[in-house]
Amino acid sequence: MDVDTRLLRSFAAVAEEGSLTRAAQRLYVSQPALTKQIRQLESALGVPLFTRSRSGMTLTEPGRALAARVPGLLAGWAAALRETRSAASRADRVLRVGFLASAANEATPAIIAEFARRRPGWRAEMRQASWSNPSAGLADSDVDVALVRLPFPGQEELRVAELFSEPRCVALPATHPLAGRETIDFRELWDEPFVAAPPETGPWRAYWLAADERDGHPVRIGAVTEHPDDWLTAIANGYGVALAPESAARFYTRPGVVHRPVTGVAPSRVAVAWAPADDADPVVQDFVRCCREVCAGT
């Protein structure tokens, strides 16, 4: 019998939290979607895994037996996946580098050049991820190392080295009443609709909405996008405004969109991240050193 590892992860979260609500928040999925996944797993196994009540979710005897095994199964699968993909890239002398949007900004070419100097014969293969994957593929073992923006879901399970920070700005339709201002206070944007990342990105979405910097003022969502081009189009069409790194004004421009400095929000932080299993990997660690040295120098 085949079982989707996604269902096992959902089961493990509910077993640990004892609550569908808390588990859904932890996994950044809706409660109905999580309920459906648990029922799918119970149907596949042919046994009830939880006793449901108003006080929460209690494991049945079969549920306790499965809960004892699932963490090891998931850890073993993650390790096998990471080692298999890593072995394939190592055979080709390729380091897979995930990144989001502008990566490490203008420092990126220098990082790649320094890696090539340090590792002759190796190639850093840059793989851009969508905003629905804020670990840039690292959490799924699709890449060996990643240039990311903090915070993102699951970063506590990875190694993260902050490289630099930059102010955030706001991207506005060129016709917006505030577009002619030199600087905008974030409070002036609280009632504006925002172009947001998908809900499942959790803290990533919340950070770019500055949800914790609104004094409890509710967020209005005008559109949801996963890619920079769609993001720019939504803003240009007047569906909302959006916070962005200051560098977006250099890397992501188009007619109909203007970027303005914004005060009252914390800066954006750029980091390099890798899996704990790669602490001793000399190629990954060479890339991390290149990131640190180049960004320290700029």
Total number of domains constituting the chain? 3
Instruction: Say whether both 111 and 175 belong to one domain.
Output: no
Q: How confident is the model at residue 48, as a pLDDT?
A: 93
Instruction: Say whether both 251 and 200 belong to one domain.
Output: yes
Closest CA to 125 of 162, 101, 92, 148: 92
The tens digit of pLDDT for each residue in 180-218 reads: 999 999 999 999 999 999 887 888 889 999 999 999 999
Please indicate, yes or no, if residue 89 is contained in any of the structural domains. no
H helices within 119-245, ranges in order?
A: 203-208, 228-236
Residue with tokens 């939504």: 234
> Which CATH number do you get for residue 197?
3.40.190.10
The tens digit of pLDDT for each residue in 25-76 reads: 777 678 888 889 999 998 888 999 998 888 788 899 988 998 888 888 877 7
Please indicate, yes or no, if residue 281 is contained in any of the structural domains. yes
Tokens for 162, please give them. Answer: 């902050």
Looking at 56, 83, 110, the residue that finishes a domain is 83
> Which CATH number do you get for residue 71?
1.10.10.10
* Helix, strand or coil, per DSSP, at residue 4: coil
Please indicate, yes or no, if residue 91 is contained in any of the structural domains. no
Instruction: Say whether both 231 and 259 belong to one domain.
Output: yes
Strands 168-173 vs 257-263: parallel, antiparallel or unpaired: antiparallel
**Domain containing residue 200:** 168-266
* Helix, strand or coil, per DSSP, at residue 148: strand
Instruction: Say whether both 29 and 59 belong to one domain.
Output: yes
Please indicate, yes or no, if residue 90 is contained in any of the structural domains. no
